[in-house]
Amino acid sequence: MINEPIANSLAKYNRSREEYDYFECLECNTPIANPICPECVVKEFVMWLDKFPRVRGKGETIRQIKNILRENEKFEGNSGKCIECGEHNTFMCPHCFIMEISKIIRANIKDRRVSEEFFRMFHNA
């Protein structure tokens, strides 16, 4: 049996979920506190990556990231709107999406300076 303080907290939590409209990240299942869509994250990432014009693996990295966006288009409409562009939905929190980008960078870009700067620039989301 749930004790009364916990039961009250659960009731308050359930009430707040109904009262406030929020969406959970499809990857980590936590509420998206920073609703910036993956499209905006990719736009910022590509602008940043353009600082490194001669990096090997750049084209493949961008292609794979854009494939993730295409594969996840089916989630449009099932989440909240992006606070940056107002067009796309935020089906994944920026942190989880950046972790996906990190995996792709590790697989494709071997330039250590690019990897290190990426982690400095983007791992605060």
pTM above 0.85, yes or no: no
pLDDT at 99: 92
Q: What are phi and psi of 31, to 5 degrees?
A: -60, 140
CA distances 91 to 3, 23, 26, 59, 71, Å, are 35, 8, 6, 25, 12
Alpha-carbon distance 119 to 71, whole Å? 25
| Mean pLDDT, each 10-residue run in order, the chain (125 residues) | 46 45 82 90 92 88 91 71 87 89 91 88 73
